[in-house]
């Protein structure tokens, strides 16, 4: 039996539900056309053949997206006016919560818990929630009696809950955005079907309590259609149709070009191919330092390399060698600037690193390590570095190589550095009767790669593997498997808005250097004439796109943040340094105050809607630490009960808390109105966001700001009290809440 979700053409009848049950399907949550289930794997084809079934989605794992934040958003002014989230429920599905932490109690004596309900989906030893057949449910009375056995060994969920709703009662120093809000928490298995069940559970409990509710979601999927049509995004739309807004972290994949498509021409701003020497650069570092080399040049005579030792370099222990621009490059007229370069590397994996640093003030301060790489590819390939957080600046770029002298390696070579402005966000269009090739290489350490290709037209798609012996079709690769040193698996599916190829490849022999080549023959017309591909990032054991002309930094927001109804939240920096329990002051080397966090994922969606909708504090937030977690002492506050974390996981609960403050004043406000209020009041008067904002696919509407006078907050229009946007209703098809105990 496996978990998953079934999408149907319409809300299934009782007779159709019986047909599913007759095939061994166990019904869990029903949300109109979306039903979460547990189903026998042997019956999946029969289930798919039922006339009312649109498609089946197997349960997939999702990822967690990881002081000054609360004053920054303007929450304190609303507290003074009496709006603190009182009477509002914040629902959270995450890794767990330390229910005994003082920040989750209304009183210092711990007699009045903020947590109304806690469903632990990972523990089947206790009482099961009404309507479900798994997990253990604890209520407020259980928690106050001290009999709740749930724990949060990860610590992510505890931290997130503290940002949204901490009372501050643990030490008095860290109060959440909505300190008087109550919490309904679900500790999840991190499978999307169980997350959907968790949201359904939260909506049910909030309706039973008769209180307004907002859901904060700091987890998300990676491989999905990125257009809001998948079950997780549809579930978020269903919640909105019930009056519960889901606020989602945008994701943390903004620091790597995980997306590829047909690119429109880019505007060149600056370039250097090193054929005229080091005139544009100054080098530093004890020998070996950066030198010009001709042995690895991509085209003509010169590339640059941190060593004069040729193929074997014995790098000095803890040596740092840098190559820095002499003159700054003006990015003030750009929209989405990027730097491309060619890289050949033989770098000791996870020991030696090549970094890219950026200075916006002529080398006075540096954002260190906004891009980094370690690997032994021994092949030239394109690299792309996002410079968009510095679009208002005159910047200097610094390449920095750090070695540890455990082994001798040839090191990295760099060539053909070009800075472009890229203004197209959605990608180009097909030329019919043409062929497009997308090359994907395996990561040099993990020796595997995963590619998710989505397209909407009637194109022919062929997948081949390029080996030392020529091209091999995907079918032949699947048939031969590991007997030839590599294995490849290809899966094809069709969803409600797309056609999809998922390609997984594994190379057992690093010397083979296989490249997956996906060929697309544009034979349309039909549907939307474009394709999009996503790569699991290298830092998640993925591979890489080989050609900078294919890749970009757009469309990295994943589900459920792509749902039309939800607010997707990006992150910017409000804290760069902190004191820790080890007695030292620590800092994030890549962080710069008030700038977009380098990791914050970017829009648009695959169907070209703006995402994220808003940004909030997320790069550096101190919040509640679970007593069952074991973070490094460098990230623990001197009080021993709070910890530092960073990510859009942290920015989403900031916005959820802001929504709870608004619902405190207007408990009948619809999700659409809350979303409109937060977006329209976002700050646009900022050196980094710009005024007006041009980088809408990075900043959305701007930085979260609540109006300073809560009595003047706008009253929701009557027409929006009962309605979700027409687009949401059209996509979701959900009209009423229906739940049957099966």
pLDDT over 70 at 140, yes or no = yes
Say whether 63-252+560-573+590-613+647-695 and 2-58 share the same fold. no
CA distance 652 to 671: 15
Rounded to the nearest 10 degrees, the angle between the axes of helix 156-165 and helix 648-665 is 30
49-74 mean pLDDT: 63
Q: What is the pLDDT of residues 537-586, one digit of tens each?
A: 655 556 778 888 888 999 999 999 999 999 999 999 888 888 989 888 88
Q: How confident is the model at residue 443 (pLDDT cuts 50, 70, 90)?
A: low
In this prediction, what percent of the chain has a pLDDT beyond 90? Answer: 41
Rounded to the nearest 10 degrees, the angle between the axes of helix 231-241 and helix 192-209 is 10
Provide the strand spans (E) within 45-99: 53-58, 63-64, 89-94
Which comes out higher in pLDDT, residue 592 or 41? Answer: 592
Task: Determine which of 324-333, 376-385, 578-587 has the lowest per-residue pLDDT on average.
Answer: 376-385
* pTM reported for the whole predicted model: 0.85
User: Which is catalytic among the residues 156, 159, 305, 602?
Assistant: 156
Q: Does the structural domain 265-421 have CATH classification 2.60.120.380?
A: no
94 labelled catalytic: yes
User: 3-class DSSP state for residue 685?
Assistant: coil
Task: Determine which of 79-88, 240-249, 443-452, 728-737 has the lowest per-residue pLDDT on average.
Answer: 728-737
Q: What is the pLDDT of residues 20-37, one digit of tens each?
A: 988 988 888 887 888 888
Determine the pLDDT at residue 527. 45
Determine the pLDDT at residue 476. 66
- Torsion angles phi and psi, residue 311, rounded to 5: -80, -20
Burial of 583 (0-12, 13-18, 19+ CB in 10 A): exposed
136-156 mean pLDDT: 96
Q: What is the CA radius of gyration of the chain?
A: 26
Q: What is the pLDDT of residues 249-280, one digit of tens each?
A: 999 888 888 898 887 778 999 999 988 888 89
pLDDT over 70 at 491, yes or no = yes
Q: How confident is the model at residue 144 (pLDDT cuts 50, 70, 90)?
A: very high
Which comes out higher in pLDDT, residue 237 or 2? Answer: 237
Determine the pLDDT at residue 467. 64
| C-alpha closest to that of 166 among 657, 603, 699, 605 | 657
**515, containing H or E segment:** strand 515-521
Q: How confident is the model at residue 508 (pLDDT cuts 50, 70, 90)?
A: low
Determine the pLDDT at residue 643. 94
Determine the pLDDT at residue 541. 59
Q: What is the pLDDT of residues 589-622, one digit of tens each?
A: 887 888 889 889 999 999 889 999 999 998 889 9
Q: Are 515 and 465 in contact (CB under 8 A)?
A: yes
Q: Are strands 303-305 and 291-293 parallel, antiparallel or unpaired?
A: antiparallel
The per-residue b/e assignment along 530-564, b for 16 or more CB within 10 angstroms, e otherwise, is bbbbbbbbbeeebbbbbebebbbbbbbbbbbbbbb
pLDDT over 90 at 374, yes or no = no
199-210 mean pLDDT: 96
74-78 mean pLDDT: 65
pLDDT over 70 at 483, yes or no = no
Q: How confident is the model at residue 739 (pLDDT cuts 50, 70, 90)?
A: very low
Determine the pLDDT at residue 65. 44
Domain 63-252+560-573+590-613+647-695 sits in CATH at 3.40.50.200
48-65 mean pLDDT: 67
610-639 mean pLDDT: 93
Domain 435-551 sits in CATH at 2.60.120
Determine the pLDDT at residue 344. 86
Task: Determine which of 235-249, 510-524, 540-554, 642-656 has the lowest per-residue pLDDT on average.
Answer: 510-524
How far from chain centre, in Å, is Cα 103?
27
Determine the pLDDT at residue 535. 86
CA distance 635 to 638: 9
Return the bridge partners of 501, or none: 453, 492
pLDDT over 90 at 188, yes or no = yes
User: Which is catalytic among the residues 57, 67, 94, 253?
Assistant: 94
CA distance 348 to 445: 10
> Integer distance in angstroms from the first to the last C-alpha of the chain?
17
The per-residue b/e assignment along 273-290, b for 16 or more CB within 10 angstroms, e otherwise, is bbeeebebbeeebeebbb
Q: How confident is the model at residue 729 (pLDDT cuts 50, 70, 90)?
A: very low
Q: Where are the domains of the chain?
A: 2-58, 63-252+560-573+590-613+647-695, 265-421, 435-551
* Beta carbons within 10 angstroms of residue 313's beta carbon: 18
Task: Determine which of 184-198, 267-281, 683-697 has the lowest per-residue pLDDT on average.
Answer: 683-697
- Token pair belonging to 51: 């006339």
Instruction: Specify which of 209-213, 314-318, 594-598 reaches the highest per-range mean pLDDT.
Output: 209-213
295-310 mean pLDDT: 67
Q: What is the pLDDT of residues 167-177, one digit of tens each?
A: 999 998 899 99
User: Which is catalytic among the residues 649, 651, 683, 701?
Assistant: 649
Q: Are 604 and 554 in contact (CB under 8 A)?
A: yes
Q: What is the pLDDT of residues 400-442, one digit of tens each?
A: 988 776 555 677 889 999 999 987 777 766 666 677 788 887 7
Q: Does the structural domain 2-58 have CATH classification 2.40.420.20?
A: no
Q: How confident is the model at residue 719 (pLDDT cuts 50, 70, 90)?
A: very low
């Amino acid at each position: 039996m496996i978990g998953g979700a079934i999408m149907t053409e319409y809300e299934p009848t009782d007779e159709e539900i019986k047909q599913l049950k007759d095939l061994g399907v166990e019904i869990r949550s029903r949300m109109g056309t979306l039903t979460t289930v547990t189903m026998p794997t042997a019956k999946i084809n029969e289930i798919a053949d039922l006339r009312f079934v649109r498609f089946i989605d197997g349960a997939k794992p999702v990822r967690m997206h990881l002081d000054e934040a609360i004053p920054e958003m303007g929450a304190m002014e609303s507290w003074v006016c009496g709006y603190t989230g009182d009477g509002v429920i914040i629902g959270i599905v995450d890794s767990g919560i330390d229910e005994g932490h003082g920040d989750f109690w209304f009183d210092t004596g711990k007699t009045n818990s903020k947590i109304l309900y806690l469903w632990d989906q990972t523990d089947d030893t206790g009482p099961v929630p009404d309507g479900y057949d798994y997990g253990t449910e604890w209520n407020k009375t259980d928690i106050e009696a001290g009999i709740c056995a749930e724990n949060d060994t990860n610590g992510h969920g505890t931290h997130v809950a503290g940002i949204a709703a901490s009372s501050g009662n643990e030490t008095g120093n860290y109060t959440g955005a909505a300190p008087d809000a109550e919490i309904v928490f679900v500790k999840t298995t991190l499978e999307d079907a169980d997350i959907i069940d968790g949201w359904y559970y939260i909506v049910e409990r909030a309706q039973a309590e008769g209180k307004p509710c907002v859901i904060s979601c700091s987890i998300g999927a990676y491989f999905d259609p990125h257009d809001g049509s998948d079950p997780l995004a549809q579930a978020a739309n269903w919640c909105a149709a019930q009056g519960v807004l889901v606020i989602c972290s945008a994701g943390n994949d903004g620091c790597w070009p995980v997306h590829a498509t047909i690119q429109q021409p880019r505007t060149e701003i600056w370039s250097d191919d090193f054929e005229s020497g080091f005139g544009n650069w100054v080098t530093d570092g004890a020998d070996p330092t950066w030198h010009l080399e001709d042995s690895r040049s991509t085209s003509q005579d010169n590339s640059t390399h941190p060593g004069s030792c040729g193929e074997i370099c014995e790098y000095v222990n803890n040596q740092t060698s840098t190559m820095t621009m002499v003159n700054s490059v003006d990015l003030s007229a750009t929209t989405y600037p990027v730097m491309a370069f060619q890289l050949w590397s033989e770098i000791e994996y996870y020991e030696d690193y090549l970094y890219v640093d950026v200075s916006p003030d002529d080398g006075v301060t540096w954002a260190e390590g906004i891009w980094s790489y370690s690997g032994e590819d021994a092949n030239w390939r394109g690299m792309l570095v996002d410079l968009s957080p510095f679009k208002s600046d005159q910047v200097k770029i610094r390449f920095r190589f750090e070695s540890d002298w455990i082994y001798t390696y040839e090191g990295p070579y760099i060539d053909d550095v070009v800075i472009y402005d890229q203004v197209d966000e959605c990608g180009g269009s097909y030329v019919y009767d043409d062929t497009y090739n997308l090359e994907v290489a395996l990561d040099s350490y993990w020796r595997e790669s995963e590619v998710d290709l989505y397209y909407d037209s009637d194109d022919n798609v062929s997948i081949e593997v390029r080996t030392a012996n020529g091209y091999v079709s995907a079918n032949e690769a699947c048939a031969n498997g590991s007997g030839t040193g590599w294995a490849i698996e290809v899966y094809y599916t069709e969803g409600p808005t797309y056609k999809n190829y998922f390609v997984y490849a594994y190379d057992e022999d690093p010397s083979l250097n296989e490249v997956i080549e996906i060929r697309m023959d544009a034979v349309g017309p039909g549907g939307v004439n474009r394709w999009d591909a996503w790569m699991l990032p290298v830092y998640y054991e993925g591979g890489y796109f080989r050609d900078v002309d294919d890749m970009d930094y757009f469309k990295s927001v994943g589900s459920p943040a792509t749902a039309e109804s939800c607010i997707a939240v990006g992150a910017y920096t409000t804290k760069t340094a902190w004191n820790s329990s080890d007695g030292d002051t620590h800092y994030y080397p890549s962080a710069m105050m008030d700038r977009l966090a380098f990791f914050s994922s970017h829009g648009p969606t695959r169907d070209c809607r703006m995402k994220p909708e808003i940004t909030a504090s997320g790069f550096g937030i101190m919040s509640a630490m679970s007593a069952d977690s074991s973070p490094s002492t460098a990230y623990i506050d001197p009080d021993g009960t709070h910890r530092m974390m960073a990510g859009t996981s942290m920015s989403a609960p900031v916005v959820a808390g802001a929504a709870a403050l608004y619902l405190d004043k207007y408990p009948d406000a619809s999700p659409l109105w809350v979303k409109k209020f937060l977006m329209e009041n976002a700050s646009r008067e900022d050196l980094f966001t710009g005024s007006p904002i041009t980088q809408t696919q990075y900043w959305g509407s701007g930085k979260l700001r609540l109006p300073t006078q809560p009595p003047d907050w706008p009253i929701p229009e009557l027409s929006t009290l009962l309605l979700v946007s027409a687009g949401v209703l059209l996509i979701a098809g959900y009209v009423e809440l229906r739940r049957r105990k099966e």
